[in-house]
Amino acid sequence: MTDSAVADQADSDRPTRRALFGAGVIGAALAMAGSRSASAATTGLSEGDASLVGFAISLELTARDLYDAAIEAGATGQVWDVMREQHESYAQRLAGIIGVSANTRNDDVYDALVGGFRGATSQAAFDLENVAAATHTELLGVVTHTVLAGAIASIAAMESRHATVLADVAGMGDDLDALFLNTATPVSPPEA
Partner 1 sequence: MNRFPNPSLDRRQLLRNGGIVLSMGALVAACGPDRKGSTDPGRLGVADEPTELPDAVVDDTALLRTAQSLEYTALAVYSAATATNALSTAETALAQRFVEDHQRHAALFGSLVTDQGGVSFDCANPFLMDRAVTPTLAALDGTDDLHRDVLNIAHAFESLAAASFQALVPSLVDLSLRTEMMRIGGEENRHAAALAAVINPDVIFSPAMFGEPVEKDADGFPVPYAIPGVFGRLTGIELVVGARDAEGARYSTQLQTPAPNTYVYEYQSC
The residue ranges that bind partner 1 (CB under 8 A) are 1, 6, 9-10, 13-14, 17, 20, 78-79, 82, 86, 89-90, 93, 133, 136-138, 140-144, 146-147, 149-151, 153-158, 160-165, 168, 176, 179-182
Q: Could you tell me the smallest distance in angstroms from the CB atom of residue 127 to partner 1?
A: 15
Q: Could you tell me the smallest distance in angstroms from the CB atom of residue 112 to partner 1?
A: 23
CA distances from 139 to 18, 59, 132, 142, 143 (A): 9, 12, 10, 5, 6
Residue whose CB is less far from partner 1, 33 or 147: 147
Residue whose CB is less far from partner 1, 35 or 146: 146
Q: Could you tell me the smallest distance in angstroms from the CB atom of residue 161 to partner 1?
A: 4
Residue whose CB is less far from partner 1, 104 or 160: 160
- Asked whether the beta carbons of 130 and 181 are under 8 A apart, the reply is no
Distance in angstroms (rounded) separating the CA atoms of residues 73 and 75: 6
Q: Could you tell me the smallest distance in angstroms from the CB atom of residue 138 to partner 1?
A: 6
Residue whose CB is less far from partner 1, 93 or 118: 93
Residue whose CB is less far from partner 1, 108 or 162: 162
Q: Could you tell me the smallest distance in angstroms from the CB atom of residue 130 to partner 1?
A: 10
